[in-house]
Amino acid sequence: MRHIRPVPGVALVNLADDSWVANDVVDAQFITAASFRAIEQRLTLVRVSHAGRSVVIDRFGEEIASLEANTIAHLFVEVSAAPLPSNLEKAAILLPLGIAGLLLWGLSPLVRSPRVVESSRTPPGCRSDRVARPGSSPARAG
């Protein structure tokens, strides 16, 4: 996570143009996606849209303040810097991946490729003397 956000940040700013969306459901989906980004980065997200809802979402995904669509107004919101992820939080992210890798590595000898068995036996009901060979005349049924 440190490579994503190397220094403590204050907020993410999302400038949006929702004029092409004439549906409140789609606007709500955009806001939900933005809230996931706020949770992922552990930062407050300020989404400003001139034709859709403008919202402020805290680092836990909760909506702090909002303005309805097509509203001309302003908001004042106090935002504090979020701490960087601790080493324990970083380890908690990598732990499930490490366990899954160890399980796959440990189970790999148990997974075998199917064996191919070659047989010179003719299947039941087929006679090898009736098989036509290239360059020979077809066998007669008799």
Q: What is the pLDDT of residue 70?
A: 81
Q: What is the pLDDT of residue 135?
A: 61
For residue 82, which of 125, 121, 122, 38 has the smallest C-alpha distance?
Answer: 38
Higher pLDDT, 4 or 78: 78
Over residues 20-66, the pLDDT tens digits come to: 877 788 888 888 998 988 888 888 899 998 888 899 999 888 999 99
Mean pLDDT of the chain: 76
Domain edges within the chain = 1-82
Radius of gyration of the chain (CA): 33
Beta-carbon neighbour count of residue 55 at 10 Å? 23
Q: What is the pLDDT of residue 2?
A: 47
Mean pLDDT of 83-87: 74
Q: What is the pLDDT of residue 94?
A: 77
Q: What is the pLDDT of residue 22?
A: 72
